[in-house]
């Protein structure tokens, strides 16, 4: 049975050659010939490493993505988990082979089930975005959580954003900060940037949350985007002393978004994509508001 986790020595060979005592006795070209022979003998790790070398080109071997794909595919079919993950990437990128989204999902799933955290992240992200596969929030959360539990900073960041935006999960800023902080501690730059922005929002809105509905309405009618957003949330949830009213929630969300509130834009994207607050699903409007949120602008 092939190993699921490559040893440090094997990875070293893939990236730059054998350890020093052996490398001193043979040339890099000879290393590659040995590796090619081992691959032809059907050793999965060598098939993978030879395939990676062909993808990149090294030690006198010109890059040959098609041949690299062929050797990696062999290793994947023989159960090498890293090869399965890499093969999924090749199908997703159309590198060395024709792009086949369904095959990318298949091989990522194989590697994810073998506990490869990078495959778990890519599979979860694909389910969340609905790219290459139908959107499935439950599957997205499952695989992203598995990856995060293994220390994937990308998965931690994405889960944090999900809680921040209420995407596939109930919006929860405290959980958002917790997950984003985990990713930030690993040096994830985007998580650091979002945390800075979130801290500013929390500081600016602490008093908004404590205000009475009458005070909040006064600020909203004066055009305060954060007050408009918070009022929309109260109408959506029927929170505090506000009666639940989907139409008013949508009205204030639109007003807040058009006044530049990014959270309102992201919430609207979710509302239109899911068909909430009494309106029919409108994916075109969902994309529109998501793009405006990404561009960071209102009108």
The answer to whether 195 and 184 are in contact (CB under 8 A) is: yes
Write out the DSSP string of 201-228.
Answer: HHHHHHHHHHS-HHHHHHHHHTT-HHHH
Report how far apart, in Å, the C-alpha atoms of 79 and of each of 7, 76, 87, 121, 210 are: 16, 5, 12, 20, 57
CA distance 20 to 63: 25
Q: Which range marks the domain in which residue 268 is found?
A: 211-299
Neighbouring C-beta atoms of residue 33, cutoff 10 Å? 15
Taking all residues of the chain, what is their mean pLDDT, rounded to a whole number? 83
6 and 107 belong to one structural domain: yes
The answer to whether 277 and 236 are in contact (CB under 8 A) is: yes
**Token pair recorded at residue 234:** 């109260």
CA distance 257 to 86: 41
178 and 72 belong to one structural domain: no
187 and 277 belong to one structural domain: no
2 and 27 belong to one structural domain: yes
14 and 95 belong to one structural domain: yes
Using CB atoms within 10 A of its CB, is residue 56 exposed (0-12), middle (13-18) or buried (19+)? Answer: middle
Q: Tell me, yes or no, whether 233 lies in a domain.
A: yes
Share of the chain above pLDDT 90, in %: 41
SS3 category, 259: coil
pLDDT at position 128 over 90 = yes
Q: How many structural domains comprise the chain? A: 3
222 and 180 belong to one structural domain: no
69 and 144 belong to one structural domain: no
217 and 257 belong to one structural domain: yes
92 and 143 belong to one structural domain: no
**Mind listing the pLDDT tens digit for each residue in 133-160?**
999 999 999 999 999 989 999 999 999 9
H runs (alpha helix) in 94-224: 101-113, 117-129, 137-149, 153-165, 173-185, 189-210, 213-221
CA distance 167 to 180: 15
45 and 79 belong to one structural domain: yes
Q: Tell me, yes or no, whether 128 lies in a domain.
A: no
**Token pair recorded at residue 79:** 């159960």
Q: Tell me, yes or no, whether 252 lies in a domain.
A: yes
Q: Tell me, yes or no, whether 170 lies in a domain.
A: yes
CA distance 249 to 104: 40
The answer to whether 65 and 55 are in contact (CB under 8 A) is: yes
Q: Is the pTM of this model over 0.85?
A: no
226 and 175 belong to one structural domain: no
**Mind listing the pLDDT tens digit for each residue in 10-63?**
444 444 443 444 445 777 777 888 888 888 888 888 999 989 999 988 777 789
Least confident segment among 46-50, 63-67, 239-243, 291-295: 239-243
193 and 216 belong to one structural domain: no
Give the CATH number, domain containing residue 85. 1.25.40.10
Q: Tell me, yes or no, whether 94 lies in a domain.
A: yes
Q: Tell me, yes or no, whether 154 lies in a domain.
A: yes
Q: Tell me, yes or no, whether 119 lies in a domain.
A: no
Q: Tell me, yes or no, whether 224 lies in a domain.
A: yes
Give the pLDDT band (50/70/90) at residue 165. confident
């Amino acid at each position: 049975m092939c190993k699921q986790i490559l040893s440090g020595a094997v990875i070293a060979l893939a990236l730059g050659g054998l350890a020093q005592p052996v490398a001193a006795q043979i040339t890099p070209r000879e290393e590659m010939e040995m590796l090619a022979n081992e691959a032809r003998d059907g050793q999965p790790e060598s098939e993978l490493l030879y395939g990676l070398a062909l993808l990149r080109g090294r030690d006198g071997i010109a890059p040959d993505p098609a041949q690299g794909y062929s050797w990696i595919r062999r290793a994947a079919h023989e159960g090498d988990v890293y090869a399965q993950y890499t093969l999924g990437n090749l199908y997703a990128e159309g590198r060395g082979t024709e792009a086949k989204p369904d095959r990318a999902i298949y091989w990522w799933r194989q590697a994810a089930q073998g506990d490869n955290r990078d495959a778990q992240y890519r599979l979860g992200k694909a389910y969340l975005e609905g790219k290459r596969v139908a959107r499935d929030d439950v599957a997205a959360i499952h695989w992203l959580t598995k990856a995060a539990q293994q220390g994937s900073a990308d998965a931690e960041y994405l889960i944090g954003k999900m809680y921040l935006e209420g995407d596939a999960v109930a919006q929860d800023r405290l959980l958002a900060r917790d997950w984003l902080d985990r990713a930030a501690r690993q040096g994830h730059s985007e998580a650091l940037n979002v945390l800075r922005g979130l801290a500013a929002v929390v500081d600016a809105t602490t008093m908004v949350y404590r205000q009475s509905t009458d005070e909040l309405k006064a600020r909203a009618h004066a055009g305060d985007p954060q007050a408009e957003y918070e009022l929309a949330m109260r109408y959506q949830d029927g929170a505090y002393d506000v009666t639940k009213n989907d139409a008013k929630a949508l009205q204030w969300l639109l007003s807040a978004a058009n006044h530049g509130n990014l959270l309102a834009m992201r919430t609207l994207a979710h509302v239109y994509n899911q068909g909430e607050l009494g309106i029919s699903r409108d994916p075109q409007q969902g994309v529109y508001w998501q793009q405006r949120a990404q561009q960071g602008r209102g009108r």
